[in-house]
Structures are given as C-alpha cells and as structure tokens.
Amino acid sequence: MKAFTITKNDAGQRVDKFLIKMLKTMPKSLVYKSLRKKRIKVNGKRAQENLILNEGDLLEAYINDEFFETPKETHAFLRLTSAPLNIVYEDENLLVVHKPQGLSVHADETATPDTLINRIQRYLYDKGEYRPDEDMTFAPALAHRIDRNTTGLVLAAKNAETLRILCEKIRDREIKKTYLCITKGHLPKEKDTLRAFHRKDEKQKLAQIFDTPAPGTKEMITGYRVIKRYRAHDLAEVKLITGRTHQIRAHMAHIGHPLLGDGKYGHLGKNPLLTRQALLAYKLRFEFTDDGGILSYLNGKEIAISHPVLVPPHIEAKL
C-alpha cells in the first residue's frame, strides 16, 4: 500500500485521471479495476472514479509496488548539469526565458535530454521549487512553443493553475506575441495585415497556404511593419493575430518574401548568409479581458528582449 497527500498542483482533477498520470506503467484497465475493487481510498473511504481530489486529501492505493517505481534517475532533466538558461523575467508563478537558436523546446527524435523544458525543470529543481516526489502528476511546463531554429521568448509555468491560465489566455489571444524577422527582398508595403488560409501537412511537417478557403484550412492573419530596409532585405516587426504552425515563415514565403536563412520555406542557394531562419520572438504583452486569476498582476505588462539581435554585425553589413 502507498499513501499520498494531494498537493495543490495535483488537486482539482478526477481520481481516475490522477492515477492514470501517476501510474504510467499500469494499464488503464487495471486502474479502473482497482477502483471497482475498492483498492483506492480517499480520506479512508472508497473512491469513485469521478471523485474530484482536493488539496490535503489522503489517497491510499492498495496496488503492487512495481507500478510505483519512478526513481529520480528517470527524470531526464537530472542528466543535465549546468545547462545555461537565459531568464528574462521570473516570479513565483512563471518564467519567461530566451530560448537560443538550435535548442528544441521538448524532446524530439534525437532523444537528447538537453531541451528547453528540461533546462527549466533542472533550474527549478536546484532552487527547490520543483519537487517531483511531492507533485505526482504535475511538472513545470511550457505554455507554448517556438521552432527549434527560432530564437526568443517562451513562457513556462511553475504550477498547475498558472499553466491553465496561460494556455487559456494564449488560446483567447490575450497574450500578444511580437517577432522580428529579416525577409528576402523588400516587402510590398511599409505596413500591412496579411490574410490567407492555412493547412498543416502532418507527413511533410509543412504549412500549406492558400489565398482562398480550402478543405481543412483555417484563417491565418499576420500583421507586419517594416523597421529597416537594407539593400536587398527588410527587417520587419511581425504580430501574430492567429497562431498557426510556422505562420510567419509560411506566410512571408507565400507572398514571395521568405525569411533569410529559411531552407524549409525558401531557397538558401549557394553560400547562404544564414542557414537558420532569421526569426526572433522578442516581445510578449498581457492584455486580459478579465482579472486573470492569480496572474492578474500581469495585466498590461510587457516583457521584451532589451537589445534584440537577429544577425551578427558582419552578416548585417552584407544585407
């Protein structure tokens, strides 16, 4: 028998969902069988599968110990030692970090433990703010993601309530994201709002863009303004009105101005100036339509990289 006291981060969910998350190696059928056989008790009483857990509840599980085997060594973040983390903003609920170009936000096919989320979890673990042995189903998590070869700001939640609010606000477009990019050629207008229709090709991992609605498409809206015109390129500030996969890269390529260094949506050619897209997520602004719950203090706040750099000076001189 194992006993657990439900923490704030684990509260608010059904007991069956909690058990499925906690007992990762246990088949779901056995989880529900244990509930039917009265092998799960909360505060000394049999737990129905739809029981909502509260902070401080005592959960007792009369289940074989093998399903609880989760040694600390299984946490990928512990395999990191002193991986750098560029923190732009931090408080008791969240982090805003500047992800470097080339670093994946989550684990990918390379299976490397060196990802942005693992760096964040290691940082919070070393600070004593992340205790995986206490929070059984929650771990610090990213509220959104950016491409591996895009650099810039990413939001990470330290607790479950913050993660829920951030995801909700991003979905409702109450967290505004602003990017800088360098395009090939000069954009047709100094300032414009682009509209098109987007469809993600899962097999090719590409965004397909259409001028008119097509089966499986969603509307895509991208605003931009030119900040600086070089000889053969533009530096532009871009605001995402919608949030589609590869939106900025695909939309700019669709109008004939792919991002500098973007081999997926553009053509690098011989001796390219860059081999990774010139795209930087440099500013976040919180514009809540309600009080924002425990994050109400963020309403109206803007977080930005103070001195954004897209390309080094020797490359900028060639633009």
Residue 234 appears among annotated catalytic residues: no
Q: 196 has which bridge partners?
A: 220
* CA distances from residue 222 to 22, 253, 316 in whole angstroms, order as listed: 41, 12, 25
Place of tokens 């390529």: 253
Tell how far CA 267 is from the center of its chain: 28
First to last CA, the chain: 67
Using alpha carbons, select from 55, 299, 47 the residue that is nearest to residue 165.
Answer: 299
Place of tokens 């939309």: 251
Using alpha carbons, select from 15, 12, 54 the residue that is nearest to residue 32.
Answer: 15
Question: Where does the chain have alpha helices with state H?
Answer: 15-22, 28-36, 116-127, 160-171, 247-254, 313-316
Q: And the tokens for 316?
A: 């900028």
Q: CA 217, CA 296: separation in Å to the nearest integer?
A: 35
- Among the listed residues 10, 57, 147, 262, the single catalytic one is 147
Q: CA 305, CA 318: separation in Å to the nearest integer?
A: 24
**Active centre residues (catalytic):** 147
